Amino acid sequence: MSKHAKAPRIAVPESEMTWRFSRSSGPGGQSVNTTDSRVELSRHLIDTALLTDEQKALATTRLRGRLVDGAITITASQYKSQHRNREAAKVRLESLLAQALIPPRPRRTTKPSRAARQRRLDDKKQRGQTKRLRQRPE
């Protein structure tokens, strides 16, 4: 097994995507106030047939900070063209899901080195000495 796990390639079907369009800020020339080039792509992770139950649980755990009511939303407005923003949002969603599905690496248990143990004991002695100096003399 390699050191870094490779992200699986995910192709999200169009039928499972929800698109919203709005006016984008930024440059656009004469058509800036008339075209809805900003794209919001939403997708519910629980309702998808693309992922297994284990993958859904892993993706939900990993993306919990980005989920709103079980849906992940990607916004793209870097291009003037709605079509290019749609493609950019879809690519970002697929890569985000692929990264979330990489299984976590198992932790290898290690022992602290002798020098690390000695530094820890020295620090404890130093803290104790500092606290002893703060006390009232008897």
Q: Classify residue 66 by its DSSP letter.
A: T
Domain 14-100 falls under CATH 3.30.160.20: yes
Note the pLDDT tens digit of each residue in 28-53: 555 555 667 788 888 877 777 777 78
The CA-based angle 28-30-36, given to 5 degrees, is: 55
Q: Given this model, what pLDDT does residue 109 score? A: 94
> Whose structure tokens read 């990607």?
74
Mean of the per-residue pLDDT values of the chain: 80
φ, ψ of residue 4 to 5 degrees: the values are: -110, 125
Note the pLDDT tens digit of each residue in 56-84: 888 888 888 888 887 888 888 888 777 88
% of the chain with per-residue pLDDT over 90: 21
Indicate if the pLDDT at residue 54 is higher than 60.
Answer: yes
Indicate if the pLDDT at residue 1 is higher than 50.
Answer: no
Domain boundaries, the chain: 14-100
